[in-house]
């Protein structure tokens, strides 16, 4: 099956979801899980081919002239991400089948989340940079809809907007970077660019394009200083958080960096910026996670930390670092997904997810407790979980880093100490200690809420004990794709007593120490935070946006004052001045008017037009003025007929008639007398503008006769209208075929105008009635 | 409401409506080869109903419409989108014109293609836009 169909299927299910939901009701949530499950199996079955390096490429032309293709590519890296997206997607959909069952807008929720899933799949499978960008933006706005899903809450709306503004801003920067990359590398296809890495790196545009693309990746993957949208995104329903954090949205930036590593990586700029951003983010996230009290917020900050770690590893770019990156990616997805699902399950059954109101849940929810602890051990990097292997490889990579090994190792150990402490804080705070007074009586969460955490925790335990099942088929092809060369890798649980193991022991010991002294530590840290970290990035961002908005408002009030006649005046004055200047500048008048050649009937029509125009200006009745304008229109239509433009003439006659009717109908509602005449000075002003503008139009038309833009496109239309457009009416062929996209846009504009009229005329008075 | 309009106008509007509609469809179909097309056709179709609305009332005219005005707007855009996407599904770039000839009895041939479908969308859209605006303005109280 083609890769295009994988993405297409998810999108089609997304669009059908509201209807399915209406038909099947509550159970429909579980049904949607079948699709990602099927896709997961399908991707697994593609594994052997990928291991043998038979990468799959499929593409169709989209805008061939711009080298934009809808093309897809499946190698080890996209396959790994595809498996994460579909696998986690299955579990999340099962989970939300229960979690969301009493929500009123369930159908809409599934529409959003499936749209999001489809976009993520498209993103990781895309082979063309522009295709990738399109899917990237779809993930941005579908996550906007998901984060703001509880849209009655102002916090949810604010968080959604914040996430959209930041990731959207990054997305635009990234698009600019992509265009530069496409120009420098000679193609938008990743498969081509992978061959051209050296060309790109030696180009002058390398620095700007890398920086632009990095902004995109950093905003999406919540790297410092763009990290603050991620905790805000906790306003989303929990299934969304679980999905966003474990497999999808925030990993998109990591995916992009890993994907581009063979093309852009290896330079000082790349290593330095990724290393700096990643290390900062890693520390900031781990540090702030420790002082949080909301379960979801704790998890959000640990995600930030993990993302920092991943970026740092991509930046290091050594074979070992990439290996660590891939393994840690899997580790993190497994534990973060499980923990979010548990946080949501606790919230659902107990009614709170504030750690200060929780505690002592162990006897009432043993299954959840076991799943949580298995997961937390993996997060803390304890043996025999996959998390342990992940941590070992990371330390190994850092210790063997070329220049700054000691520094990096210290950073990683510091961040991990906090991670260990947070993991224990989370587990202990919820399940042990004294039971506080939660809003609802605690009991074991429902089975569908526990399926995900159970599967994930057992998986990470199993993978920890038998790492070989993922090394060969999953990890190696992914590393292969990032390194762009095959690697040989053996993962083991036990590496023996060495420096790396010593670091592990130090981490766990210090983490446990921090955990045991948590009370004084949190107190001290909170005090420290209030003193030195009072700047909230969210507030800073809000103030930035507010200032920007008030600035634009002031600016807009000057330019968009709302007076139609001043707009027209401005347009007329500016355009006529520009044209007159140009005419003066070129000095080529070249007007040749020979009055003898004009046939008498044209002269008659012209006279009719001129007298009607004068009449329209001087009449005292609105109706007469409008009828006279109509006469001008009909007379012009007659000229069109004389010169063979029957189409234009018919259209003009119909439009004139309809405008006449429209005007009469509007006049009917106006007061029956003419209001006071405008002052003589303004009438003179309007007259001058009208004459200048009319003169410029006349000059332009006369001039147009003598300007030949080479070569005229009309010849092409004449020649090709019948052969290519199958029509003898060239005007129509141009409208519906050669320039069909324009017509499409115009029709959309017309429809929007009609909707605008509806809202102006119909909706406003109704509201007023309600107010009264 | 008493009858403020002449009966001649009313009878004319009643008889002209179907005539104008048929004419608008003819204009729409022949548009690709001879003067005509979706835009003009749409204007004509709208005129038929606006005439009717002037003679009777916009309410009566709305009743005579096969689709609501907003449905006309939507279907117009939908038809345009379908005509543009048909080529994508057969592996061609977006909006590539595709043609087929249908043979009718008596040796007649009907040339059908996505541009004609596209024109139909324009026809529906233009009719919808005009009628929406006109009816709404007539109905201002």
The average pLDDT across A729-740 equals: 81
* Number of C-beta neighbours around residue A741 at 10 A: 11
Q: Which residue has better confidence, A9 or A64?
A: A9
Instruction: Give B134→chain A minimum CA distance, Å.
Output: 7
Q: Which residue has better confidence, A763 or A772?
A: A763
Please say if the pLDDT value at position B53 is more than 80: yes
Asked whether the beta carbons of residue A751 and residue B136 sit closer than 8 angstroms, the reply is no
Would the CA dihedral through A689, A693, A694, A696 be positive or negative?
Answer: positive
CA distance A209 to A182: 10
State whether residue A41 sits within 8 Å of chain B by CB.
no
Asked whether the beta carbons of residue B128 and residue A761 sit closer than 8 angstroms, the reply is no
Report B:95-134 residues touching A (Cβ under 8 A): 95, 97, 99, 111, 113, 115-116, 118-119, 121-122, 125-126, 128-130, 132-134
In this predicted structure, what is the pLDDT of residue A177?
92
Please say if the pLDDT value at position A766 is more than 60: no
Instruction: Give A625→chain B minimum CA distance, Å.
Output: 20
Q: Which residue has better confidence, A491 or A649?
A: A649
Instruction: Give A56→chain B minimum CA distance, Å.
Output: 19
Q: Which residue has better confidence, A499 or A147?
A: A147
State whether residue A728 sits within 8 Å of chain B by CB.
yes
Whole-number average pLDDT of chain A: 82
In this predicted structure, what is the pLDDT of residue A612?
93
Structure tokens, A726: 């199958």
Q: Which residue has better confidence, A431 or A765?
A: A431
In this predicted structure, what is the pLDDT of residue B107?
67
Helices (H) and strands (E) in chain A, counts: 34, 2
In this predicted structure, what is the pLDDT of residue A49?
82
Structure tokens, A211: 């920086």
Strands B109-113 and B99-103, bridge-based pairing = antiparallel
pLDDT in tens, A132-186: 999 999 988 888 888 888 888 888 888 888 888 888 889 999 999 999 998 888 8
In this predicted structure, what is the pLDDT of residue A174?
92
ipTM of the complex: 0.88
Greatest mean pLDDT range, A242-256, A496-510, A618-632: A618-632
Looking at A364-373, A479-488, B114-123, which range is the least confident one?
A: A479-488
pLDDT band at A675 (very low <50, low <70, confident <90, very high): low
State whether residue A725 sits within 8 Å of chain B by CB.
yes
Please say if the pLDDT value at position A211 is more than 50: yes
Chain B residues within an 8 Å CB radius of A647: 35-37, 40
pLDDT band at B129 (very low <50, low <70, confident <90, very high): very high
Asked whether the beta carbons of residue B137 and residue A724 sit closer than 8 angstroms, the reply is no
State whether residue A720 sits within 8 Å of chain B by CB.
no
Determine phi and psi for B88, rounding to 5 degrees. Answer: -60, -40
State whether residue A528 sits within 8 Å of chain B by CB.
no
In this predicted structure, what is the pLDDT of residue A594?
65
Please say if the pLDDT value at position A674 is more than 80: no
In this predicted structure, what is the pLDDT of residue A402?
66
In this predicted structure, what is the pLDDT of residue A771?
46
Asked whether the beta carbons of residue B128 and residue A754 sit closer than 8 angstroms, the reply is yes
pLDDT band at A609 (very low <50, low <70, confident <90, very high): very high
CA distance A686 to A692: 10
State whether residue B46 sits within 8 Å of chain A by CB.
yes
pLDDT in tens, A110-134: 888 889 899 998 898 888 888 899 9
pLDDT in tens, A90-100: 988 888 888 88
Please say if the pLDDT value at position A746 is more than 80: yes
Instruction: Give B43→chain A minimum CA distance, Å.
Output: 7
The average pLDDT across A728-751 equals: 85
In this predicted structure, what is the pLDDT of residue A593?
63
pLDDT in tens, A263-278: 887 788 888 888 888 8
The SS3 of residue A164 is helix
Looking at A540-544, B38-42, B129-133, which range is the least confident one?
A: A540-544
Please say if the pLDDT value at position A772 is more than 50: no
Best residue in B37, B44, B61 for a mutation probing chain A (most A CBs within 10 Å): B37
CA distance A326 to A329: 5
Chain A residues within an 8 Å CB radius of B126: 747, 750
Asked whether the beta carbons of residue A661 and residue B80 sit closer than 8 angstroms, the reply is no
C-alpha separations of A752 from A524, A759, A763, B47, B62 in Å: 58, 10, 15, 21, 21
In this predicted structure, what is the pLDDT of residue B1?
43
- The packing angle between helices A3-24 and A106-125, to 10°, is 180
Q: Which residue has better confidence, A493 or A31?
A: A31
Please say if the pLDDT value at position A360 is more than 80: no
Please say if the pLDDT value at position A532 is more than 80: no
CB A297 within 8 A of CB A234: yes
Q: What percent of chain A has pLDDT over 70?
A: 92
Determine phi and psi for A372, rounding to 5 degrees. Answer: -60, -45
Taking CA atoms, what residue in A is nearest to B70? A755
């Amino acid at each position: 099956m083609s890769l295009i169909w994988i993405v297409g299927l998810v999108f089609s299910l997304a669009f059908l979801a509201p209807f399915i939901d209406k038909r099947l009701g509550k159970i429909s949530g579980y049904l949607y899980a079948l699709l990602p499950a099927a896709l997961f199996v399908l991707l697994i079955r593609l594994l052997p081919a990928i291991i043998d390096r038979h990468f799959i490429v499929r593409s169709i032309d989209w805008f061939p002239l711009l080298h934009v293709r809808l093309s897809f590519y499946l190698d080890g890296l996209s396959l790994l991400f595809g498996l994460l997206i579909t696998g986690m997607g299955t579990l999340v959909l099962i989970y939300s089948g229960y979690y969301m069952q009493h929500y009123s807008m369930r159908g809409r929720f599934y529409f959003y989340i499936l749209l999001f899933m489809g976009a993520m799949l498209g993103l990781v499978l895309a082979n063309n940079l522009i295709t990738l960008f399109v899917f990237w933006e779809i993930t941005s706005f579908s996550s906007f809809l998901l984060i703001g899903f509880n849209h009655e809450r102002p916090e949810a709306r604010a968080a959604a907007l914040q996430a959209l503004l930041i990731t959207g801003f990054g997305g635009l920067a990234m698009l600019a970077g992509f265009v530069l990359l496409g120009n420098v590398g000679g193609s938008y296809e990743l498969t081509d660019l992978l061959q051209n890495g050296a060309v790109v790196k030696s180009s002058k545009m390398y620095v700007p394009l890398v920086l632009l693309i990095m902004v995109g990746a950093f905003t999406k993957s919540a790297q410092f200083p763009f990290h603050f949208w991620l905790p805000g995104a906790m306003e989303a329903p929990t299934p969304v958080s679980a999905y966003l954090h474990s497999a999808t949205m925030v990993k998109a930036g990591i995916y992009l960096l890993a994907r581009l590593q063979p093309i852009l990586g290896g330079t000082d700029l790349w290593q330095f910026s990724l290393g700096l951003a990643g290390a900062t983010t890693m520390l900031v996230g781990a540090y702030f996670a420790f002082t949080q009290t909301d379960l979801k917020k704790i998890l959000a900050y640990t995600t930030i930390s993990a993302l920092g770690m991943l970026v740092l590893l991509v930046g290091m770019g050594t074979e070992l670092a990439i290996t660590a990156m891939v393994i840690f990616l899997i580790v993190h997805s497994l534990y973060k997904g499980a923990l979010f699902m548990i946080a949501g399950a606790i919230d659902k059954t107990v009614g709170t997810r504030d750690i200060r109101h929780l505690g002592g849940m162990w006897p009432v929810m043993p299954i959840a407790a076991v799943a949580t602890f298995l997961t937390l051990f993996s997060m803390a990097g304890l043996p025999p979980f996959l998390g342990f292997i992940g941590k070992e490889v990371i330390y190994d990579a850092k210790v063997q880093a070329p220049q700054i090994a000691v520094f990096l190792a210290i950073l990683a150990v510091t961040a991990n100490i906090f991670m260990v402490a947070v993991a224990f804080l989370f587990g202990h705070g919820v399940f042990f200690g004294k039971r506080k007074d939660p809003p609802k009586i605690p009991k074991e969460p429902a089975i569908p809420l526990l399926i995900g955490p159970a599967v994930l925790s057992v998986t990470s335990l199993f993978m920890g004990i038998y790492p070989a099942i993922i090394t060969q088929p999953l990890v190696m092809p992914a590393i292969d794709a990032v390194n762009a060369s095959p690697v040989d890798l053996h993962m083991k649980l036990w590496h023996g007593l060495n420096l790396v193991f010593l670091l592990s022991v130090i981490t766990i010991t210090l983490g446990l120490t921090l955990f045991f002294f948590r009370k004084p530590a949190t107190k001290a840290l909170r005090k420290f935070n209030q003193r030195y970290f009072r700047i909230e990035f969210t507030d800073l961002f809000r103030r930035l946006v507010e200032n920007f908005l008030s600035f634009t408002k002031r600016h807009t009030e000057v330019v968009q004052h709302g007076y139609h006649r001043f707009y027209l005046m401005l347009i007329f004055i500016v355009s006529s001045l520009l044209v007159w200047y140009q005419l003066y500048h070129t000095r080529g008048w070249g007007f040749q008017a020979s009055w003898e050649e004009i046939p008498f009937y044209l002269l008659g029509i012209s006279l009719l037009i001129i007298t009607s125009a004068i009449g329209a200006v001087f009449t005292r009745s609105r109706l007469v003025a409008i009828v006279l304008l109509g006469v001008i229109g009909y007379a012009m239509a007659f000229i069109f007929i004389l010169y063979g433009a029957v189409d234009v003439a018919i259209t003009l006659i119909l439009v004139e008639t309809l405008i006449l009717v429209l005007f009469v109908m509007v006049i009917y509602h106006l007061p029956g007398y003419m209001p006071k005449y405008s002052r003589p000075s303004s009438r003179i002003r309007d007259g001058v503008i009208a004459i200048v503008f009319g003169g410029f139009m006349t000059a332009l038309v006369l001039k147009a006769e003598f300007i030949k833009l080479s070569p005229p496109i009309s010849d092409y239309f004449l020649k090709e209208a019948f052969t290519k457009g199958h029509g003898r009416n060239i005007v129509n062929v141009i409208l519906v075929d050669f320039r069909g996209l324009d017509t499409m846009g115009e029709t959309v504009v017309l429809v929007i105008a009609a909707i605008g009229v509806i809202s102006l005329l119909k909706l406003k008075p109704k509201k007023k009635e309600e107010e009264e | 409401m008493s009858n403020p309009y002449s009966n001649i106008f009313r009878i004319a509007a009643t008889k002209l409506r179907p005539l104008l509609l048929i004419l608008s469809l003819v204009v729409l179909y022949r548009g690709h080869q001879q003067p005509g097309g979706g835009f003009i056709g749409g204007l004509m179709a709208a005129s038929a109903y606006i005439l009717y609305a002037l003679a009777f009332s916009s309410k009566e005219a709305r009743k005579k419409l096969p689709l609501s005005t907003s449905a006309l707007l939507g279907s117009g855009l939908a038809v345009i989108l379908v005509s543009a996407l048909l080529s994508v599904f057969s592996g061609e770039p977006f909006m590539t014109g595709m043609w087929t000839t249908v043979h009718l009895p008596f040796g007649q041939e009907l040339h059908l293609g996505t541009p004609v479908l596209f024109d139909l969308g324009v026809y529906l859209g233009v009719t919808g836009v005009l009628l929406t605006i006109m009816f709404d303005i007539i109905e201002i109280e």
